[in-house]
Structure 1
Amino acid sequence: MTHPPDLLPAVRAVPFARDLADHGDRPAVVTADGVLSYAELAGRVAETARRLGPQRRLVLVTGANTVDALVGYLAGLHGGHPVLLVPGDGPATRALTEAYDPDVVIGPVDGAWTLHERRIGSAHELHPDLALLLSTSGSTGSPKLVRLSHTNLQANAESIAAYLGVRETDRAATSLPLHYCYGLSVVNSHLARGAALVLTDRSVADDCFWELFRQARATSFAGVPYTFDLLDRVGFAAMNLPHLRYVTAAGGRLAPEKVVRFAELGRRSGWDLFVMYGQTEATARMAYLPPDLAASRPEAIGVPVPGGEFRLAALPEQPDGVGELVYAGPNVMLGYAERPADLASGRTVTELHTGDLARRGPDGLYELVGRRSRFAKILGLRVDPQRVEALLAAHDVDAACLGADDELLVAVAGEVDPARVRRLVAGELALPPRAVRVLALPRLPRLATGKVDYPALRELAAGPVAPPVPSAPAPDDDLCRLFAEVLDRTDVTPEHSFVDLGGDSLSYVEMSVRLERALGQLPPNWHTMPIGALPAPRGGRPRRRRALETSVALRAVAIVLVVGSHIPMFTLTGGAHLLLGVAGFNFARFLLTDAGRADRLRQVRSALTRIVLPTTAWIAAMLVLTDQYRWSNLLLLNSLVGPDDGRTEWHFWFVEALVYILVAVAVLLAVPGMDRLERRHPFGLPLTLAGLGLLSRYDVFGLDARYDLPTAIVAFWLFALGWAAARADGVRQRLLVTAAAAATVPGFFGQPQREALIVAGFALLVWLPTVPSLGPLNRVAGVLAGSSLYIYLTHWQVYPHLRDQPLLALVASLALGVGYAALVQRAGPVINGWLKRLR
């Protein structure tokens, strides 16, 4: 039992929690609802601390990213009460509550934040140095906790603030949970310096996170490796974040190639990347890699944090220079707690044996080379596979578990329902189901000793993917199936986005229309969002206003205008040139992703294949069946070598122009310097290229008059302007693109109606992401837009035979193109398989 009040030692408070009021009216917390000053925060903390009383008690706090949770956490530290931070009302929290019997619980009840006193006084004997209890194994429900002292918290907060150079003017976005030691270290280090927190529970995959980030003038955010995967998918490299000073990475190994890429992105954009290393047992951080070394030494964890030091403990089974990394410093925990009685213990640990194998490079930087134990980091959480195996054994499941990259692999033997195992493990560990992969086997691989053969298990896991086991559908299973069907992929997971899966402007049309039908109005950047971040499909008949993406609508309208004008059913030309602008728009959206240069070029090559193969296949067939075309048409060289006989020379000018432009742009971006320039100036580069394209549009040097330049050169500025339209961010840039189209298109054809159509199309593309529509109209527009290339190819063989019946000629031309598109779609997987075998 706790000592009587008159025998209690003087209450010890963590300085950064005790001294909040010293920062006066400086902003302390910024939320979507407003700003809370340090004085106001200190007042709320003091009031909650008074409610906790003068006697030290064990206080359980739900560590959500809310002002109420922050106040509860700080109030415990302010009053000298040991705080047990937990993730929420899940199995892990209930297990810890039962195991440690807290005296006070602070958290949400029926949506309202409450302070619930479970007893008067305390049921525990609490050591005077004890300040904080955190789970060490990723919320597995284990009663094993890390015991941290007041000195641990203050020392690590000061150390982190020192090497990051945290200023009073900084504002850190809470991109990680408060109950996670990494997320908590962001809070502690900024409060220690009087800086502000931009408090949000939104994911970096959510547009609302970045809206608040910009509005709050945030200067930093933290991420685990999975966070950086999401950043790639949401177009982080192209974001305008003028106040961003630095980004931190920890919670697991960030691949060296990603360290280099993000470090270079930061250098170009004016912010620093800090790669860090730590464990809960060290109150968060033990090492950091100076930003100026990130690009040259991306594989290193760096140097010890200020006040800390490393040594390498020799191991007999390791080569010279490699040992277990051992850390010492004022942030090393007091020790572990496995039962309430341990809360009375003082320091039992003086240095931390990390379990990581490391070596020290000639430059003094430390590098990790492996693990002594089987602990795994899954999405930044430390998970003990042995505890998972024990959990499943308690449910009569014979299982073996190991960490694999950013997922937990659970192999089960016998007649077991994999879906049940996945739900059980994910629920118990508080992990998203996508992070748990269940491998069903007839029996577990074992050594002669009878122990599980984990290397063999890892090889099995890395082998060919088995057909998916039927299971109860998760909320995003239907969407994964839809993406797999449309994109003809078998490897779709909730972490993938449309762009990740190789989606292009052709498949985008079908995907967007079908998603709109399933989900309602789509988020503006749905094609870069992970599938799991999309809203769940709605059941029944949804009541909502229908909308159609503007680029899809323009493609559908343009192809109808092209065919109708050629018949001629009406005279409203300009559709093909508008399609060239839309092509530039889609080029930027789908091919200029945040992937590396090699991946970008691979995507452009795939796009060219999807254009060239069906085009040449159709022309080859017509070359055999009719006398319309020549070899120059088949090789897409007519605009270069002729003949200029006026008969068929213009049939495929649009396809030739598009192919030439894509090849030229790919060659341009294959130059490393140009690739870097595009990433640094995603709007400026295409606008500059559009300006250069205007030299041929206005024939400044008289080349067109003398040499009859190909349309690809003369009309290139329209493609570049569409590219710039996709990259336009903010009103000024959109106005600039609109003004450029309005100033340069008139006079190009000498046909005001045609030019007005193109200018209007650009205006819609720039200012309206979607246009109002109806369900049936969406489906028709989707089919026409998705088949626009094929309609363009085939309509030349249809309408000349039906000129006397213009409407029938239009319908028949569209129908043949749609049919050819369906044929190509069916043949696609066969051709892809054939090409793979050739490789």
Structure 2
Amino acid sequence: MTIELLPPRVSFAADLARFGDNPAVLMQDRVLTYRELAGRVDDLAARLGPVRRLVALAAANDLDSLVAYLAALSSGHPLLLAPADKPAALDSLVAAYDPDVILRSGGGEPVLEERRPGTRHELHPELALLLSTSGSTGSPKLVRLSHENVQANAESIAQYLRIGAGDRAATTLPMYYCYGLSVINSHLLRGAGLVLTDLSVVDPCFWELFRVHGATSFAAVPYTFELLECVGFAGMDLPSLRYVTQAGGRLGPETVRRYAELGRRRGWELFVMYGQTEATARMAYLPPELAAAHPGTIGVPVPGGAFRIDPVPGLDDGELVYTGPNVMLGYAERPEDLAAGRTIEELRTGDLARQHPTGLYEVVGRRSRFVKIVGLRIDLGQVERILAGLGVAAASAGSDERLVVAVEGGHDTDLLGKVLAQDLGLPRAAVEVHAVEHLPRLATGKLDYPAILALAEPCPAPAASGAPGDGPADVRRIFAEVLECPDVRDEDTFVSLGGDSLSYVAASIRLEKALGNLPPDWHLVPVGELAARQQPGRRHRRFTAPLETSIVLRAVAIVAIISTHAQLFAWPGTAHVLMAVAGFNFARFQLTGGGLPRLRRQLRSLGRIVIPSVVFIAVAYLLTDRYTPANIVLLNAFVGPEKWTTQWDFWFVEVLVYVLVAVAALLAVPWADRFQRRLPFAFPLALFAVGLLTRFELVDLEVPNPKPVLWLFALGWAVARARHLPHRLLLSAAAALAVPGFFGNPWRDLTILAGILLLIWLPAMPVPVLLHRLLGVLAGASLYAYLTHWLVYPGLAPVSPALAVAASLAAGVVYWALSMRLLDAVRRWRTLLARVRPAAGKRGVES
């Protein structure tokens, strides 16, 4: 063991205090100044001690990880970064390099696990940081970066992005990834702020945090732009946004051009960038003013760097070679390599490139067999070696979108796909494995990789499934089937895939069975995180477990509605509780994004209400003499009789559809949409105030019979947007003032008020575990049971009210299950057509 005093430090990490009271870290619940951040960093640096040691950090996008990272850099301890959310990767690196200290987040203060008081390593004086290559994790091959590398690249990035103390960057990428780390470094260098979060861009809370703290930038990889499309980024009002950066893989030229033009119209800039971990992060950037005209290029070298193109025998394009102060010292593959100094002077990127007459560089391919998928560099040879170790003969090819593998023989391709996805750190949907009788080969005997890539399916379909309520299932398959989305990725969430209140219950029932208890915000949790919780065979033995209040209210309400009508018992008012629940769910599932994508999602959700309602009412019209054509087209509320008759049976569906159509139309108006985004809690309160005009009959809508319900819908919407205690107190007071006297029946009014208060104050309710599935089924089938019970209970109630209620609920569940099967059949038919048409077109061309 060599005792070594601490060498020179990374300057920006050691000099944080010079920015004084500038905001350094901005979080949901607090803001830390540079002076406060420096104090925390100095305290941890003192705990690390004066003897230079190898430190491993299990990093996440949280304050503890940031403090730990800066403490190691500022005090000269070489730091090995690993992902906190991938324990296997951390264990692999710890086993390979045997760090002296391990740091982890502790929920307020970093936890220091000292494995030895000194060090067992020879550590080169210039060594500062060890990163996995190009976003891969767990591989023992690491990039060795010096203090100068880290400092120089931060200065270069800050220069071309013109970062100043007033800038604030949202942390959209993990800090253990070199791109995410470069955002942190370049902003701390200039005294700018970090909006520190691990929220996804599909989470409305991310954009709320973005606006509250006035963030000026965020970083994106190619897949991020797909998510931005889902959430309607183009229509968002982000007045503080100054620029968006992109790296982590090639972004399609059309997408570059589209976003560059969007930024020009909205007042922000798009910086397309190119880099590798071996160059600390960035090597090139495309000046924003050139992005629209040259969207396929990587631009020019970063300040301080330079490119040249070396010829490659047999190829028209040469290999791109980079030089600059940010080029790594070299690689490490074992602990002994940590003692080495600089072993390379320039970086041979492995990319084939050409230079345009304009001076811009363009990457046109890879010299070696690597692909980059969702920002991760995948060695196709490694893929084949992994499978060879399992006794499987395989050949692999790939693109920026997916990995395609051919395996020889009758192997379980689904199992092999899961193994590869786990080993490589890829989303399962990005890995395709195909079983073939013999691996395709050229006449020379070499593997035919283009033929392997041609095996890729144009639209992967999910595995077959049963009806709602089937057995344990794969999480991704559940999402795919419930949401009719054949390609579900690890980064997707229920909301980003277009889920709504009806599909929410169907998904939660099946996920509850597959995973056990679900987290309360599971609809915002990425699919990959949910899938990681799947533990077949594990059983929760608790008698009770929390079930979301909105699901309980839906289940209880439909039972109460039918029981009241069948005269089993009287409990009026629950239908109006459901109207508040409808507003609550609308805000949770139908407000993400903007523009046409959001409108299409709202119309799809509306269709899931209208279509089964119209179909059933049409059947009821043909079988009975109780209804009119106005009922079928849901217009009875406008043209029906003023006297309450059977024609008013479907009033709830009609009024809910009217409200949903009106709200969708309102949000299509730009100023209303801006108001809703900027003031997400105040907007539904304003709508609630408007609704009170009809509630207290200050405005007459001239609708014959149903009580006005817009105010209830808006109140539920506001509940979903309540973020803290004052919000909930305000809503409780509003409900207490608005509900009494609504019907003139104290017990009915009390039911409505109690339902709203439960929604406000109890996100979930303790419910016996044995009832979870039953309540979930009743909640999911509540609309269908409401429709069908009008034809079921009248004939059975005189015989047995209890039988009438049970039969009505059963009929609703059956209609729900049939509807789900029909939707599944339609989805499969669409998938089949999507496959047949390209094939037919290809045959036509060949003939």
Q: TM-score range by the shorter chain?
A: 0.7 to 0.9
1:332 alignment partner in structure 2: 327
Among 748, 754, 757, which residue is 2:751 paired with? Answer: 757
Alignment-derived partner of residue 434 in structure 2: 439
1:153 to 150, 154, 177: 150
Per the TM alignment, residue 440 of structure 1 is displaced from its structure 2 partner at its CA by 2.8
Deviations 1:178-202 (A, max 9, x none): 55323443454355446787889x6
DSSP-derived class of the 1:729 partner:
coil
Runs of at least 5 residues in structure 2 that lack an aligned partner in the other structure: 105-110, 466-471, 835-847
Partner of 1:505: 501
Cα distance, 1:567 vs structure 2: 4.3
Contact 1:677-1:685 within 8 A present in 2 as well:
yes
Q: Structure 2 vs 1, CA of residues 560 and 277 (structure 1 numbering), >3 Å: closer, same or farther?
A: same
Aligned pairs (5 A) from 1:598-617: 598-617=596-615
Aligned residues of 2:321 and 2:346 also touching (Cα < 8 A)? no
Secondary structure in 2 aligned to 1:400? Answer: strand
**Matched residues in 2 for 1:144 and 1:587: separation?**
48
Distance apart, 1:650 and its partner CA: 1.0
Letter in 1 for 2:769: G
SS in structure 2 of the partner of residue 773 of structure 1: strand
- Pair 1:81–1:464, CA change in 2 (3 A): closer
The alignment status of 1:627 with 2:625, answered yes or no, reads yes
1:727 positional shift: 2.9
Q: Which residue identity does 2:720 align to in structure 1?
A: A
| Cα distance in 2 between the residues matched to 1:518 and 1:387 | 33
Find the counterpart in structure 2 of residue 563 from structure 1: 562
CA contact (8 A) 1:355 1:372 kept: yes
2:527 corresponding residue in structure 1: 531
Distance in 2 (alpha carbons) for counterparts of 1:70 and 1:391:
34
Please report how far the alpha carbon of residue 749 of structure 1 lies from its aligned counterpart in structure 2 after TM superposition: 3.6
SS of 2:351's partner is strand
What residue is the counterpart of 1:473 in the other structure? none
Q: Please say if residues 375 and 384 of structure 1, whose CA atoms lie closer than 8 Å, have aligned partners that are also in contact.
A: yes
Give yes or no for the alignment of 1:784 onto 2:778.
Answer: yes
Note if 1:114 corresponds to 2:102: no
CA contact (8 A) 2:57 2:102 kept: yes
Contact map agreement 1:24 1:38 (CA 8 A) in 2: no
Are 2:732 and 1:728 equivalent residues in the alignment?
A: no
Identify the residue that residue 574 of structure 2 maps to in structure 1: 575
1-structure distance, mates of 2:830, 2:247: 41
Query: SS of the counterpart of 2:454?
Result: helix
CA contact (8 A) 2:428 2:490 kept: no
Of 179, 182, 186 in structure 2, the residue corresponding to residue 185 of structure 1 is 182
Q: Contact 2:691–2:711 (CA<8 Å) still a contact in 1?
A: yes
Give the drift of 1:79: 7.6
CA contact (8 A) 1:375 1:385 kept: yes
Q: Secondary structure at the match of 1:438?
A: strand
State TM-score, norm by structure 1: 0.77
Work out whether residues 314 and 324 of structure 1, in 8 Å CA contact, stay in contact via their aligned partners in 2.
yes
Q: What is the CA-CA distance between 1:793 and the residue it aligns to?
A: 1.9
Residue 664 of structure 1 deviates from its aligned partner by: 3.5
| Unmatched segments (≥5 aa) in structure 1 | 54-58, 471-475
Secondary structure of 2:433's match? strand
Report the CA distance shift for 1:685/1:145 in structure 2 as closer, same or farther (over 3 A): same
Mapping 1:273-292, distance limit 5 Å: 276-288=273-285
* Structure 2: distance between partners of 1:254 and 1:611: 38
Pair 726,290 (structure 1): closer, same or farther in 2 beyond 3 Å: farther
Shift of 1:770: 1.7
Deviation at 1:279, TM superposition (A): 1.3
- Which amino acid in the other structure matches residue 533 of structure 1? E
SS of corresponding position for 2:327: coil
* Structure 1: distance between partners of 2:829 and 2:80: 59
Cα distance in 1 for partners of 2:441, 2:506 equals 48
CA distance in 1, matches of 2:827, 2:409: 37
Partner Cα separation in structure 1 for residue 260 and residue 676 of structure 2:
16
Q: 1:72-109, CA deviations, whole angstroms, 9 ceiling, x for partnerless residues? A: 877876687876666698689868987xx89x744479
Who is 1:56 aligned against? none
Comparing 420-429 and 731-740, the one that deviates more: 420-429
Q: Secondary structure at the match of 2:396?
A: strand
Check the 8 A contact 2:582/2:713 in 1, yes or no: yes
State which of 791, 797, 807 in structure 2 corresponds to 1:797. Answer: 791
Q: Determine which of 811, 815, 821 is the counterpart of 2:816.
A: 821
Native 8 Å contact 1:136 1:144 kept in 2: yes
1:252 aligned to 2:249? Answer: yes
Query: Taking structure 1 as reference, are residues 574 and 272 closer, same or farther at Cα in structure 2, changes over 3 Å only?
Result: farther
CA distance in 2, matches of 1:585, 1:92: 41
Q: Distance in 2 between matches of 1:678 and 1:262?
A: 24
- 2: CA distance, partners of 1:77 / 1:396: 44
Q: Check if 1:413 corresponds to 2:412.
A: no
Q: TM-score, normalised by structure 2?
A: 0.76
SS across alignment from 2:282: coil
Quote the offset at 1:284 in angstroms.
0.7
Kept after mapping to 2: 8 A contact 1:62/1:107: yes
The aligned residue for residue 15 of structure 1 is 11
Alignment of 1:39-188 (within 5 A): 41-42=41-42, 44-45=44-45, 48=48, 50-52=50-52, 59=54, 61=56, 64-65=59-60, 105-107=100-102, 113-114=113-114, 116=116, 122=122, 132=129, 134-136=131-133, 138-139=135-136, 146-163=143-160, 179-188=176-185
2:521 aligned partner, one-letter code: N
- Aligned ranges 1:342-361 → 2 under 5 Å: 346=342, 348-350=344-346, 353=349, 355=351, 357=353
> Counterparts of 1:203 and 1:496 in 2: how far apart (Å)?
12
Aligned residues: 809
**Cα pair 1:588 1:726 within 8 Å, conserved:** yes
Letter in 1 for 2:149: N
Please tell me the root mean square deviation across aligned C-alpha atoms, in Å. Answer: 5.5
Listed one character per residue, the Cα deviations across residues 520-547 of structure 1 (whole Å, up to 9, x for unaligned) are 5532221232233234457134226323
Structure-2 change in CA distance of 1:116 and 1:433 (3 Å): farther
For 1:722 and 1:260, locate their aligned partners in 2 and report how far apart those are by CA, in whole Å: 41
Partners of 1:631 and 1:658 lie apart in 2 by 19
Structure 1 contact 357–372 (Cα < 8 Å) conserved? no
Distance 1:382 1:652, change over 3 A: same
| Residues 484 and 715 of structure 1: CA distance in aligned 2, closer, same or farther (over 3 Å) | same
The answer to whether the 8 A contact 2:51-2:118 is kept is no
Preserved contact between residue 302 and residue 366 of structure 1 (Cα < 8 Å): yes
Superposed, 1:432-831 pairs within 5 Å as: 436-463=431-458, 465=460, 478-480=474-476, 482-483=478-479, 494-516=490-512, 519=515, 521-534=517-530, 535-537=533-535, 539-543=538-542, 545-594=544-593, 597-642=595-640, 647-670=645-668, 678-698=676-696, 700=698, 704=702, 708=703, 714-802=708-796, 804=798, 806-830=801-825
Aligned partner of 2:370 in structure 1 is 375
Cα separation, 2, equivalents of 1:434 and 1:721 = 39
Q: Tell me the distance in 2 between the aligned counterparts of 1:150 and 1:577.
A: 64
Indicate conservation of the 8 Å contact 1:24/1:39, yes or no.
no
Which piece of structure 1 moves more, 681-690 or 415-424?
415-424
CA distance in 2, matches of 1:622, 1:203: 48
Residues 315 and 762 from structure 1, CA distance in 2 versus in 1: closer, same or farther, beyond 3 angstroms?
Answer: farther
Q: Taking structure 1 as reference, are residues 586 and 348 closer, same or farther at Cα in structure 2, changes over 3 Å only?
A: closer
Local SS of the residue matching 1:649: helix
Q: Report the alpha carbon displacement of residue 303 of structure 1 after superposing the two structures with TM.
A: 5.8
Report deviation, 1:626. Answer: 2.2
One-letter amino acid of the structure 2 residue matched with residue 606 of structure 1: R
Mark the CA change 1:762 to 1:19 in structure 2 (over 3 Å): closer, same or farther. Answer: closer
Q: Matches of 2:512 and 2:667 in 1, distance apart? A: 33
How much does 1:430 deviate? 5.4
Counterpart-to-counterpart distance in 1, 2:150 and 2:56: 17
Question: Per-residue CA shift, 1:465-510, capped at 9, x if unaligned?
Answer: 478699xxxxx96434555665677655654433455543233234
